[in-house]
Amino acid sequence: MSDRVYPPVIAAAKLMFRVLDCRINVVGAHHIPREGGAVLASNHVSYLDFIFAGFGAQPAKRLVRFMAKQEVFANRYAGPLMRGMHHIPVDRSAGLASYREALAALRSGEVVGIFPEATISRSFTVKELKSGANRLAASAGVPLIPVALWGTQRLWTKGRPRTLTRRHVPVTILIGEPLHPQPRDKHDAINDELHRRMQELLDQAQQEYPEKPKDDELWWQPAHLGGTAPTPEEAAALDASGRGD
């Protein structure tokens, strides 16, 4: 498909990264095929994750078509950009149309990006996954590639003020070995394996991250590593109540 909007947006993002001296470390980009369809399944800790997950595909010279909620496309500023980059709107009350659009993109050789947790994880652990990513990969006969992002939550995450001009923030993008789900596979089993791999990648990213939070920044560290982020149980309660958005 024609891409007149996506390349300039990427160029602008790279310029922003340079200006802010954003120290991005991409590991495992060779797992993304240089041609043919693939599903990228990434964890979700920031409103900016689609930018960085897409950046992880740059070494393979791929443009990622992300599935995003319909409300983003309705925004007067973000909407034209999202449509221009051929991202895929998801109407949660009528998800079949977006599924078919994503499937058609995969079968035509595109890379589709999905955040299978559906919403940002306040606990900074991998939440329960929706099954759409593995179902799409199985139906299209394409690899399912786990991705872990870390550091993006320091720029803008749920329940915290935006700090988009903060400089020198390290961002880690880990791309794991692909799964190859088949139509006859049990979706629950594939989902469990995808969750395990995503959590392993995230654990690695957190353990190898080059900075530790200061005493007044413990909010961006998960509870099991000594931070003050909500535990998964506390995060689930916050999500259910709608507090902290």
Average pLDDT of the chain?
Answer: 96
Question: Rounded mean pLDDT of 126-134?
Answer: 97
Query: Strand locations in the chain, DSSP E?
Result: 23-27, 38-42, 64-69, 88-90, 111-114, 144-150, 170-175
Question: Rounded mean pLDDT of 107-115?
Answer: 98
Predicted confidence at residue 244, as pLDDT, reads: 60
Please say if the pLDDT value at position 190 is more than 70. yes
* Residue 2 confidence class, pLDDT cut points 50, 70, 90: confident
Please say if the pLDDT value at position 216 is more than 80. yes
Indicate if the alpha-carbon torsion angle 80, 41, 200, 35 is positive or negative.
negative
* Ramachandran quadrant class, 40 (left: phi over 0; alpha: psi -120 to 50; beta: rest): beta
Long-range Cβ contacts of 217-220 (<8 Å, 24+ apart)? 217/154, 219/160, 220/124, 220/153, 220/154, 220/157
Q: Is 73:85 a contact under the CB 8 Å cutoff?
A: no
Predicted confidence at residue 85, as pLDDT, reads: 97
Pairwise CA distance, residues 186 & 131, whole Å: 11
Q: Is 91:100 a contact under the CB 8 Å cutoff?
A: no
Pairwise CA distance, residues 245 & 242, whole Å: 7
Please say if the pLDDT value at position 94 is more than 90. no
- Rounded to 5 degrees, φ, ψ at 150 are -150, 140
Question: Rounded mean pLDDT of 43-72?
Answer: 97
Predicted confidence at residue 206, as pLDDT, reads: 98
Q: 171: helix, coil or strand?
A: strand
Question: Rounded mean pLDDT of 151-155?
Answer: 98
Say what percent of the chain tops pLDDT 90: 95
* Single-letter amino acid code for the residue at 180: H
* Residue 245 confidence class, pLDDT cut points 50, 70, 90: low
Question: Rounded mean pLDDT of 64-89?
Answer: 95
